[in-house]
Amino acid sequence: MAKTQHAVAARPRRTHGGRDRRAQILEAAAGVFIRDGFVRGSVDAIAAEANVAKQTLYNHFGDRESLVIAVVEAAMDPMATQFSTVVGETIAAHDCADLEAQFIDFGRRWVRLMLCDDAAALRWRILADAPLEESLQVALRRVDQEAGLRSIAEQLALLDRAGRLSVPDPEAGARQLRALLIGDAQLESVLGQVTLDEKRIAAVVDRGIAMFMRAYGRP
């Protein structure tokens, strides 16, 4: 994970174009938030990291909350499309005979998605700090991260109606599945600070899905 964090937090190129300057500030903000957290990461530190005047930062983003929203959108939006693909190719493929294997495939791909690209460390920081930072809560609502949980809940409801699972509350089931997979992966990776290899990812997912199936699987 150290390489990933360095890639995200590296000092940006010094450029003068408007779009490049905005990207420069966003990259600097990501690095500061990974290093210091969203609660302690200040506009002053971001401006210093980006090598711009604080007023330049405000000219591009208006205020700190708007900057936080932009950082969250940059980190989370690309994942939404990829997540939809993962759902469509795994738990939405209801013709699979081995439902538990289908969920294991989904879980491993979901954890890899959260862990393995250049924004992974930032996403872990966003999720870890959200309960403490109101601007993060606003940002997450704006990018509608609950859409992923809704898509899982929809699949759980379909599987319940088909008699393949017993999930009386699909929304609660989706939240519990996230806790078993993503929550456990967060703890294993120390909020993205430790790289999880395939063996550790498999262990997280296998035990999480086994527990989920014990709770919701049909006899």
* pLDDT tens readout for residues 12-53: 344 444 558 999 999 999 999 999 999 999 999 999 999 999
Q: Which residues pair with 217 in a beta bridge?
A: 165
Read off the CATH number of the domain in which 115 is found: 1.10.357.10
Domain that holds residue 12: 2-216
Please give the structure tokens belonging to residue 153.
């809940």
Task: Give CA angle at 144 (140, 148), nearest 5°.
Answer: 110
Query: What pLDDT is recorded for position 11?
Result: 39
pTM: 0.73
Q: How many structural domains comprise the chain?
A: 1
Is 15:21 a contact under the CB 8 Å cutoff? Answer: yes
Is 84:185 a contact under the CB 8 Å cutoff? Answer: no
SS3 91: coil
